[in-house]
């Protein structure tokens, strides 16, 4: 058996295990710019060109997604974050941004599925649990929302947002007394917080 034949066999074997894993990612998303402010259009065109010049860069796709998101082009932003996640599937940041824009497009179930993938890579990011809790509340899945907010309190015990989520879960579950107790503790820390006062008023009324 010749050395050349052995090398070819080895190459075929490597491709069988590795070549299929290389992602096939479309070109960077080019969103329509009709009616866009000239300065914004110039900026977006420049970011798009950077992504085109470095087609294998997940960060370049994510930067394009951020530019589209800031300019209100949410579908283009989502598509760009999705491409970034395909190029660098081990980076939870791109998956997180993909999930958030999926929710902005109105697909909360889809956003939750994407966020689950992100949390499988990094389960220590508090904002992911805050979004998860809110989306579950919006879907009426109150018990699961409570679990998400509880995990957020474990990760960031001194932040207000996870505890506000817990109070909202209590209210949605018909436990206004529990909500009042949580909110009174929060108001001791931040007595002038407008949303806390609004939520506390709702809890007292109920």
Residue-wise pLDDT for 94-131, tens only, equals 999 999 999 999 999 999 999 999 999 999 999 999 99
Asked whether residue 11 carries a pLDDT value surpassing 50, the answer given is no
Residue with tokens 């080895």: 10
Residue with tokens 């209100």: 72
- What b-and-e string marks burial along 172-190, b requiring 16 or more CB atoms within 10 Å of the CB? eeebbebbbebbeebeeee
pLDDT tens digits, 18-32: 444 446 899 999 999
Asked whether residue 13 carries a pLDDT value surpassing 70, the answer given is no
Residue-wise DSSP of 12-76: HHHHHHHGGGS---PPPP----TT--HHHHHHHHHHHHHHHHSTT-HHHHHHHHHHHHHTT-HHH
Which pLDDT does position 6 carry in this prediction?
36
pLDDT bucket at 17, cuts 50 / 70 / 90: very low
Residue pair 31/44 in contact (Cβ under 8 Å)? The answer is: yes
User: Cβ neighbours of residue 102 under 8 Å, at least 6 residues apart?
Assistant: 78, 110, 111, 114
Residue pair 68/44 in contact (Cβ under 8 Å)? The answer is: yes
Which pLDDT does position 196 carry in this prediction?
86
Separation of first and last alpha carbons in the chain: 84
Q: Report the pLDDT averaged over residues 176-205.
A: 90
| Calpha distance 137→173 (Å, rounded) | 11
Q: At what angle do helices 58-70 and 38-53 cross, to 10 degrees?
A: 170
pLDDT bucket at 7, cuts 50 / 70 / 90: very low
| Calpha distance 48→95 (Å, rounded) | 20
Rg of the chain over CA atoms, in angstroms?
Answer: 23
| Calpha distance 158→156 (Å, rounded) | 6
169: Cα separation from own chain's centroid: 21
Mean pLDDT of the chain: 89
């Amino acid at each position: 058996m010749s050395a050349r034949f052995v090398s070819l066999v080895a190459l075929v074997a490597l491709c069988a295990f590795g070549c299929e894993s290389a992602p096939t990612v479309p070109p960077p998303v080019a969103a329509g710019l009709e009616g866009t402010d000239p300065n914004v259009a110039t900026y977006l065109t420049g970011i798009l060109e950077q992504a085109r010049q470095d087609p294998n860069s997940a960060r370049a796709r994510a930067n394009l997604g951020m530019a589209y998101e800031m300019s209100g082009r949410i579908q283009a932003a989502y598509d760009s974050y999705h491409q970034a996640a395909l190029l660098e599937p081990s980076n939870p940041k791109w998956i997180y941004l993909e999930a958030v824009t999926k929710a902005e497009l109105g697909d909360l179930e889809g956003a939750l599925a994407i966020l689950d993938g992100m949390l499988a890579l990094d389960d220590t990011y508090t904002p992911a649990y805050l979004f998860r809790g809110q989306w579950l509340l919006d879907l009426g899945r109150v018990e699961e929302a409570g679990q998400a907010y509880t995990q957020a309190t474990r990760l960031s015990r001194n932040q207000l947002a996870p505890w506000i989520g817990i109070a909202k879960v209590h209210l949605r579950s018909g436990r206004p007394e529990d909500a009042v107790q949580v909110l009174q503790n929060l108001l001791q820390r931040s007595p002038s917080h407008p949303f806390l006062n609004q939520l506390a008023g709702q809890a007292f009324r109920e």
